Structure 1
């Protein structure tokens, strides 16, 4: 601990980073950033932009970069993402940023940051184009967790041949995230055709009664085939669940080769 205090005094470690090492979180005016989440649970912490001002998001992103070398901001629109980076987070050139437009996710990486590298593949599958935003959120978090991602889009069950044409690719993955709106049939069909874990994501797309994702959620919860189900539009959660499975698969593979 004395070495840490001396490093703070010498300017080698920031007070926020020191706090994060001691407590597992960094305190800011915008809230506490859970800097220890990834080391504690394997899940990278993210900042949800919904309900936060640009200044608050920027403050939390800076805390994330200082304490973990990376910031993931979800559910953020393009204008607010541009405003966050314009606030000075990337001014000195040591931070790279990427805005994932369809997924509405902003990722920032400090110089020298290296993502984990998992020996595992996740298939991210969508029923239709309307599902791509949710699937994109899952894809970003999976890649940040170090998994290889195979995207398979627009294979909804209205034409079952589309998913059958991609079945080999889905079966080759270690785990699948399957996003679908309307009645949510695709994840249940896929789960009946593969021997890998399936995480179903109901999407809020459809007409009229229960078209806000309620029908898809109910269909997945009542699935005759075995699969896991997350909340409506919960792409981040689906990505995390699949990422944790991929992490376990990767660890087992590497242990078997040692």
Structure 2
């Protein structure tokens, strides 16, 4: 959306030709930035509550860096920036391309995630508990944990508590499981851990197979 488009909407509202509610609906869908190989959706947060997440897999390091640059140019945005499925090479290009504007960028090697934190405001209710069955599930669990935190939630980890040693899980039944508002279970394809956790709590349980 350019200034002319925005001016037309504002003038229509001022003249009484367009209801404010209708104007909001239009603004939800208009703005994106065409950078050639990608169309960056700057109003994703307005429509869905969080800015567009950049999937690094399948993109070149420079493409990821340019999308990050487009998002960082929105000075009025306070939303965090999240890039998933990346490696140290992509992180290096993101930092080099964006310079000082990306000084808050951090690379999380276990999960393969880049975060650029612009706000620490907590908007979610309660705590999200991210549970993993084994150590090999931690990379996926860490991605879920960082995603939840970057989207304004309190999130805590509980790792290596698979049902093969169920006493490890039951030890945290009251202190963590019962206190969570949502639980994300990251485990193998058999689905044993989410099933057990689902039988212990009265909150939503999201199963993530690895």
User: Do these two structures clear the TM 0.5 threshold for a shared fold by scoring above it?
Assistant: yes
Matched, 1:171 2:191: no
Query: RMSD across aligned C-alpha pairs, in angstroms?
Result: 2.3
Rounded to whole Å, the distance in 2 between the matches of 1:178 and 1:128 is 11
Structure 1: stretches of 5+ with no match in the other structure: 6-19, 204-258
Question: TM-score w.r.t. structure 1 length?
Answer: 0.65
Structure 1 stretch displaced more, 71-80 or 126-135? 71-80
Rounded to whole Å, the distance in 1 between the matches of 2:31 and 2:127 is 30
Aligned to 1:180: 187
Matched, 1:86 2:89: no
Matched, 1:135 2:141: yes
1:120-176 deviations in Å (ceiling 9; x for gaps):
210000000111111111111111111111110000000111110111211101110
Aligned to 1:106: 114
CA contact (8 A) 1:122 1:147 kept: yes
Question: TM-score w.r.t. structure 2 length?
Answer: 0.79
Rounded to whole Å, the distance in 1 between the matches of 2:171 and 2:37 is 48
Matched, 1:201 2:203: no
CA contact (8 A) 2:29 2:43 kept: no
* Distance change (3 Å), C-alpha of 1:28 and 1:115: farther
Q: If each structure's helix is expressed as a fraction of its own residues, which one has the higher value?
A: 1
- For residue 23 of structure 1, report the CA deviation from its aligned partner: 1.9
Aligned to 1:72: 82
1:219-243 deviations in Å (ceiling 9; x for gaps):
xxxxxxxxxxxxxxxxxxxxxxxxx
Matched, 1:117 2:122: yes
CA contact (8 A) 1:116 1:145 kept: no
Structure 1 stretch displaced more, 151-160 or 57-66? 57-66
Rounded to whole Å, the distance in 2 between the matches of 1:198 and 1:24 is 35
